[in-house]
Amino acid sequence: MTDRALAVVRAGALTTVQDRGRPGHAHLGVPRSGALDRPAADLVNRLVGNPPETAVLETTLNGCAVRPRSTVTVAVAGAPCRVTVDGRPAAWGAPVRVPGGALLDVGPAVSGVRAYVGVSGGIAVEPVLGSRSTDLLSGLGPPPLADGTVLSLGRPAAVHARVDVAPQAAPPDELVLRVTLGPRDGWFTPEAVRTFVSRAYRVSSASNRIGLRTEGPALERARPGELPSEGMVLGAVQVPPDGRPVVFLADHPTTGGYPVIAVVRAADLPAAAQAAPGTPVRFVAVRRR
Amino acid sequence: MNVLLVGEDALLVEVSSGDEAQALHAELLRRRAEGSLSAREIVPAARTVLLDGLDTPARLAAELTAADLPPAPPRAGHVVEIPVRYDGPDLADVAAHWGVPEHEVARIHGDTEFRVAFCGFAPGFGYLTGLPPRYDVPRRATPRTAVPAGSVALAGPYTGVYPRSSPGGWQLIGTTDAVLWDHARVPAALLSPGTRVRFVPEAGS
């Protein structure tokens, strides 16, 4: 192994390698996967001079710590957190030079859930179907980071970015998700559909990269029985038998058997990735454009 | 044919049978190959085909609603042969459901030409149809926490082979050494929608 590598000192609760995922393979049962907060992943790549499809680290709640073997430029964005290099405070949301052998520590999220760590050259694990993303549902891509893991890095771009700092949306105090109803809203009572788009839900601690689970009023079905398996899209709001809506995120299954009452607009999903357990959620019905 | 809008850029096309879903899937793939349809994902399932990543979903919805679905194309392509040992722990239960002696399960299953109706559940897991409806079996009342990779299994009208160890409630009738999914191989999936499949009983099973 060359010195273009990162040693994982503290893997954190769940840190995975993510890029833009592997769309186009759903017919083989392969989820799309990819960074949940794509604007944040794009930003850290931009800050360190990587192309947008470069693989980054996605942390969950309590960050991670890594030690590069040679000097690299890193950037941390997404969930706001304390960043240190060998114990000294470093910038969040801006490029930071980390000397070889120094310890980069990405602290717990002050707000939000997922921080993104971009490294000049990018994380160079072996791609699977064109993507380096860890897919927690189907087990494709590299396993989640463990203490002691060593990750190879790619070659940095010859030309460095000229961005010093970039504005970012703050993680939401209340998550407002715009939805278009259907395709299976007819499987619910009219009262349940009204409840869905008018009452408050909360983000459940059972949420993960597969789905944002919610707690709140149960949605009553108008039609009993089973729905045959059908294809699912990113942002589909599926309602399992307990009646609590689940918003499908990047590692969602490709087919499912529970009715989808609505679909969340793609533009609202990055905020869903940063909504901590307990955050209030409102689903707002909008017309198709 | 019933066409439902899904979110901003997807359609779910509903048909009345699994055979129609397979025919529609073949037709949509044909249109995409000739360049008259642009879709990032075309996902067949039991009674539907999902089209995702469309530029003009509403226009396509109107067009599909008005269209007559061509009949399923003749079964083309080679047949994937999967060697099987009919030694599954649920063989006796399946034989009882079918009302035949155990060795007849292998003969009936091995004499059937299957076709992959759709994939899902795990990369490389195909839902294979081909057995007549009288051979439908229920899922097990209590799913197993771990079904070994290579298990050949039945549920409802479908046959499937587990690409890797996972929980599952299907009735296990046999095992195969065939590799259903290998991401280092091209293609990674042994089975994809439309693939013709035959199970070949291994000698001595």
pLDDT of residue B66: 87
Q: What is the DSSP letter of A185?
A: G
Segment A46-50 shows an average pLDDT of 94
Sheet strands (E) in chain B: 2-6, 10-14, 41-44, 48-52, 79-84, 114-119, 126-129, 144-147, 151-155, 158-161, 166-168, 171-175, 196-201
Q: Is B49 in contact with A288 (Cβ distance < 8 A)?
A: no
Q: Is A180 in contact with B5 (Cβ distance < 8 A)?
A: yes
To the nearest whole percent, how much of chain B has pLDDT over 90? 90
Q: In this model, does residue B203 exceed pLDDT 90? A: no
Average pLDDT over chain A reads 95
Rounded distance between C-alpha atoms, residue A17 and residue A134, angstroms:
6
What is the 3-class SS of A68-111, one letter each residue? ECCCEEEEEEECCEEEEECCEEECCCCCEEECCCCCEEEEEECC
- For A27, the closest of B7, B42, B46 (CB atoms) is B42
The pTM score is 0.94
Q: Is B12 in contact with A28 (Cβ distance < 8 A)?
A: no
Instruction: Provide the shortest C-alpha distance from residue A76 to chain B (in Å).
Output: 31
Instruction: Provide the shortest C-alpha distance from residue B203 to chain A (in Å).
Output: 31
Strand partners, A203: A214
CATH number of the structural domain A175-285: 2.40.100.10
Q: Does any CB of chain B come closer than 8 Å to the CB of residue A24?
A: yes
Rounded distance between C-alpha atoms, residue B122 and residue B22, angstroms:
20
Per the rule left: phi > 0, alpha: psi between -120 and 50, beta: everything else, B109 is alpha
Smallest CA–CA distance from A129 into chain B, residue: B183
Q: Phi and psi for B159 in degrees, rounded to 5?
A: -115, 145
Least confidently predicted of A122-126, A234-238, B73-77, B161-165: B73-77
Q: Do domains B2-66 and B80-201 have the same CATH topology?
A: no
> At B120, is the pLDDT very low, low, confident or very high (cuts 50, 70, 90)?
very high
Q: Is A233 in contact with B48 (Cβ distance < 8 A)?
A: no
Ranges of each domain in chain B: 2-66, 80-201
pLDDT in tens, A164-183: 667 777 888 899 999 999 99
Q: Is B120 in contact with A229 (Cβ distance < 8 A)?
A: yes
> At A208, is the pLDDT very low, low, confident or very high (cuts 50, 70, 90)?
very high
Q: Is A29 in contact with B4 (Cβ distance < 8 A)?
A: no
Residues of chain A with CATH 2.40.100.10: 175-285
DSSP readout, B23-35?
HHHHHHHHHHHHT
Q: In this model, does residue A113 exceed pLDDT 60? A: yes
pLDDT in tens, B92-106: 999 999 999 999 999
pLDDT of residue B75: 65
pLDDT of residue A164: 66
pLDDT of residue A157: 81
Number of A–B residue contacts, CB under 8 Å: 108
Q: Does any CB of chain B come closer than 8 Å to the CB of residue A139?
A: yes
Q: In this model, does residue A192 exceed pLDDT 80? A: yes
Instruction: Provide the shortest C-alpha distance from residue B142 to chain A (in Å).
Output: 18
pLDDT of residue B205: 52
A-interface mutation test, from B52, B127, B139, most A Cβ less than 10 A away = B52
pLDDT of residue B76: 66
Chain B hits for A183, CB-CB cut-off 8 Å, are 4-6, 12
Least confidently predicted of A1-15, A132-146, B64-78, B159-173: B64-78
- What class is the B2-66 domain? alpha beta
Its CATH architecture, for the domain B80-201, is Beta Barrel (2.40)
